[in-house]
Chains A and B, each alone.
Chain A
């Protein structure tokens, strides 16, 4: 095995931590530095809009590892430290220190995207970090109404948490269908229905003209002139990548091969939300902001960096889950590739339900509502691009009927 020398991992979220662990597991016993911009030990983000926000988990439970488990990794752990520049053989830190490396892994993730003219105000929230989460949680407890700008999954989960606490909730989405960009129109309608059934007002095709916040509350003016008021507001309009310090341009993340090696650099890798890996399945570069992608990329990149054999990725398949109103929504595959979508329900038109996405008669994605066991059955068929009759045989066998 080639010596990896000094390895620096920048980014102490899931992708960075897992990379450090995989490096140690694959035999790297040399110097290993983990640099994190936040002051916290590595923590997990999905629960921030789910279990922590609803209060079913104590915030401490988001810690990905105990201090003892981290100590076993023999890391040079630099928390509260931001990387600001990259030379051929060193990372430049915020305080000017140069951190020399033989191999570098960039795992700095993404930030919450902000709207143009978004005021910085105590009543205007975003949700990316643990502080954001705790601030929002306290804000919800002291409020009777919430406006959510952005019909994505973070907004949807916060809507569910806020409804559970009795707040009056409105989701404002610029596109014709909230959730439609990811799930397609037919399945997105199911999500909208879920929210409306729980008393959420969902406004689609609603463009924000102006956003104001004051001591008494927030005011949103839409392009059609209507005015919405609430006690507070969450802006959840996706994420932005800032990898400029590491040579990334235009918010596209860092272009990588299918082992995470950054294009044009021999000894620099990137993993997680910041990395746009080449996908053998689609032939394109994809930046996938999913939890399981980060864990898988960490394993592959760590082994590639050490010159160890890399087993093919267990599933080169996007996968995510969302918890809303005690309903688990799970997705596997690439719905945007589909030319046909079919929804299958439990007889009576209720959940558990699944949606199957087909392209030229082959399965490219599946989404489940309150049906983790069914998605588990469908996933191998998505991985194998199963033909429609095989998909139908399975949904029939599962006792589902076309919607």
Chain B
């Protein structure tokens, strides 16, 4: 699976960092950074939660 970010939409709420801290972090301007663009299956639930909880709808999860 692959994490997709539409960076122009990110508003820096950090909900994704809470949901999946091993996959997402924030940069100095509080915009999302994907630390693990192709996370392992064990991260699926966390990444789905991150996608769901993004108020700006900036994230998507694509299956390979």
- B17 touches which of A51, A291, A328, A373 (Cβ 8 Å): A373
A299 interface contact, C-beta 8 A: yes
A341 interface contact, C-beta 8 A: no
Docked-complex contact A372 and B19, CB < 8 angstroms? no
- Give the interface residue-count category, chain A: 20 to 34
Docked-complex contact B30 and A372, CB < 8 angstroms? yes
Docked-complex contact A372 and B49, CB < 8 angstroms? no
Q: In chain A between 99 and 143, which residues have their CB closer than 8 angstroms to a CB of chain B?
A: none
A376 interface contact, C-beta 8 A: yes
A interface: dominant SS? helix
Query: Chain B residues with Cβ under 8 A from A291's Cβ?
Result: 55
Query: Chain B residues with Cβ under 8 A from A44's Cβ?
Result: 55
Closest CB in chain A relative to B31 CB, distance in Å: 10
B5 interface contact, C-beta 8 A: no
Docked-complex contact A376 and B53, CB < 8 angstroms? no
Query: Chain B residues with Cβ under 8 A from A379's Cβ?
Result: 18
Q: Chain A, 380-398, contact with B by CB distance < 8 Å: what is the 0/1 string? A: 1000000000000000000
**Bound-state Cα–Cα, A321 to B12, Å:** 11
Docked-complex contact B52 and A372, CB < 8 angstroms? no
- Known A292-B15, A328-B12: A373·B52 in contact at CB below 8 Å: no
B47 interface contact, C-beta 8 A: no
B14 interface contact, C-beta 8 A: yes
Q: Chain B, 41-63, contact with A by CB distance < 8 Å: what is the 0/1 string? A: 00001000100110101000000
A295 interface contact, C-beta 8 A: yes
Query: Chain A residues with Cβ under 8 A from B52's Cβ?
Result: 18, 295, 299
Docked-complex contact A376 and B18, CB < 8 angstroms? yes
Q: In chain B between 17 and 34, which residues have their CB closer than 8 angstroms to a CB of chain A?
A: 17-19, 21, 26, 30
Q: In chain A between 31 and 70, which residues have their CB closer than 8 angstroms to a CB of chain B?
A: 44, 46, 51, 64
A375 interface contact, C-beta 8 A: yes
Query: Chain B residues with Cβ under 8 A from A145's Cβ?
Result: none
Query: Chain B residues with Cβ under 8 A from A314's Cβ?
Result: 19, 49
Query: Chain B residues with Cβ under 8 A from A292's Cβ?
Result: 15, 53
**Bound-state Cα–Cα, A66 to B57, Å:** 12
Docked-complex contact B14 and A46, CB < 8 angstroms? no
Closest CB in chain B relative to A122 CB, distance in Å: 32
- Known A328-B12, A328-B13: A373·B53 in contact at CB below 8 Å: no
- B13 touches which of A51, A299, A372, A380 (Cβ 8 Å): A372
Nearest-neighbor residue (CB-CB) of A295 within chain B = B52
Closest CB in chain A relative to B29 CB, distance in Å: 11
**Bound-state Cα–Cα, A18 to B57, Å:** 13
Nearest-neighbor residue (CB-CB) of A50 within chain B = B11
Closest CB in chain A relative to B33 CB, distance in Å: 11
Nearest-neighbor residue (CB-CB) of A292 within chain B = B53
Query: Chain A residues with Cβ under 8 A from B12's Cβ?
Result: 328, 372
Nearest-neighbor residue (CB-CB) of B28 within chain A = A373
**Bound-state Cα–Cα, A103 to B15, Å:** 32
Docked-complex contact B14 and A372, CB < 8 angstroms? yes
Query: Chain A residues with Cβ under 8 A from B18's Cβ?
Result: 315, 376, 379-380
**Bound-state Cα–Cα, A376 to B30, Å:** 12
Closest CB in chain A relative to B9 CB, distance in Å: 9
Query: Chain B residues with Cβ under 8 A from A373's Cβ?
Result: 14, 17, 26, 30
What are 25 residue pairs bridging A and B, where the CB atoms are less than 8 Å apart in the complex?
A: A44-B55, A46-B55, A292-B15, A292-B53, A295-B53, A311-B45, A314-B19, A314-B49, A321-B13, A321-B55, A330-B14, A372-B12, A372-B13, A372-B14, A372-B26, A373-B14, A373-B17, A373-B30, A375-B14, A376-B14, A376-B17, A376-B18, A376-B21, A379-B18, A380-B18
Interface residue ranges, B against A (CB under 8 Å): 11-15, 17-19, 21, 26, 30, 45, 49, 52-53, 55, 57
Counting from the closest, the 4 A-B pairs by CB-CB distance are A372-B14, A376-B17, A376-B14, A376-B18
